[in-house]
Amino acid sequence: MPHHSTEDFEGQFAVRIDEAWELVRVSADVVYRYVSVGPSLATPVHTAAWRLHLGAAARQLSVLQCLRMKETSEGASALLRGLLEAWAHLDFLSDDGQEDTARCRAIRWQLGDLLEVEGLGKELRAAGATAAQLVELDDLSARRADLLAAATDCRCRDHPPWTRARVPAVLKAVAQQDPRLRWIVALYGSTSSGVHMYGSNQLLHVDDLGQATVTWVLPSVRTQYLTWANVAYGKVSQLTERAMSDDPHDSGFFPRMQALLEDPLLREAGRGRFDT
């Protein structure tokens, strides 16, 4: 590997950020081919997968934007949570080992998503939200009825809606199937604190002499965030394509993402080579 100094790490890291950013576009282009006519109740699997991928793509771009500057890298910690949740939901959608069909699972997820939004609606009403903010929330009953009407050919009514509460169990199952992914369980738990002030405090390291280090500005930590995000987004893209098609389109996304994950400079940075 060519020698890179601590001083030029920022420029080299920015190149890797740009590549990850471009891969979001590549993956999104593939997904849009499967939903070229737009989301529809007639295609609940495609609609659910498209919505989850769309949210994950936005979250991935937000992570990358935070990582572009060391001063904003701390924000990536909390944003990783959404990527892991999308991963878990898509794993549920594409799991044909369950007793219900993919169509049923997609409708269950959408019903669960409505429950999550309803909880937000109650909080907004209690906080005195404006009428304009509540317009969409007031239409939730009609949306639920439409989903159930589309579920006449499956057993969605016999299963509970799929909500965010199921995410930890799915991530644990994924980690058990592939020991290399055991970190996703601990990461998901830690990201909960990332949205609160004590999450930032956990990223401050104070040694025995009282010297404090802001860890999120370190190249090793920023590289770790980038790697976690890339693995999660890669899995999200893989599961989205699996849910949408039995013959995924060869876009070149996965070889490029694998090359980024195995990038020698990022591996060296992850070991702390540029932290001094």
Per residue in 54-77, pLDDT (tens digit) is 999 999 999 999 999 998 998 898
Which residue's entry shows tokens 């969409």? 136
Task: Report the pLDDT averaged over residues 34-58.
Answer: 82
User: Confidence band (pLDDT; 50, 70, 90) for 252?
Assistant: confident
Torsion angle of the four alpha carbons 118, 96, 56, 182, in this order, in degrees rounded to the nearest 10: 110
The fraction of the chain above a pLDDT of 70, given in percent, is 75
Alpha-carbon 27 to chain mean position: 14
Give the pLDDT of residue 276: 76
The rounded distance, in Å, linking the Cα atoms of 31 and 34 is 5
pTM for the structure as a whole: 0.84
pLDDT 10s digits, 143-202 = 767 776 666 666 666 777 888 889 999 999 999 999 999 999 999 988 876 666 555 556
Tell whether 275 is covered by a domain.
no
Contact 83, 63 (CB under 8 A): yes
- Domain with 195, as residue range(s), is 9-267
pLDDT 10s digits, 226-243 = 999 999 999 999 999 888
The rounded distance, in Å, linking the Cα atoms of 83 and 229 is 7
Which residue's entry shows tokens 């016999």? 158
Whether residue 141 is predicted with pLDDT greater than 80 in this model: the reply is no
Contact 104, 159 (CB under 8 A): yes
- Residues listed for the chain: 276
204 backbone dihedrals φ, ψ, rounded to 5° = -100, 125
Tell whether 1 is covered by a domain.
no
Tell whether 43 is covered by a domain.
yes
Tell whether 3 is covered by a domain.
no
Tell whether 55 is covered by a domain.
yes
Number of domains within the chain: 1
Counting beta carbons within 10 angstroms of the beta carbon of residue 129, is it exposed (0 to 12), middle (13 to 18) or buried (19 or more)?
middle
Mean pLDDT for all residues in the chain: 83
**Lowest mean per-residue pLDDT among 100-109, 128-137, 165-174, 213-222:** 128-137
Give the pLDDT of residue 96: 81
Tell whether 95 is covered by a domain.
yes
Tell whether 224 is covered by a domain.
yes
Tell whether 119 is covered by a domain.
yes
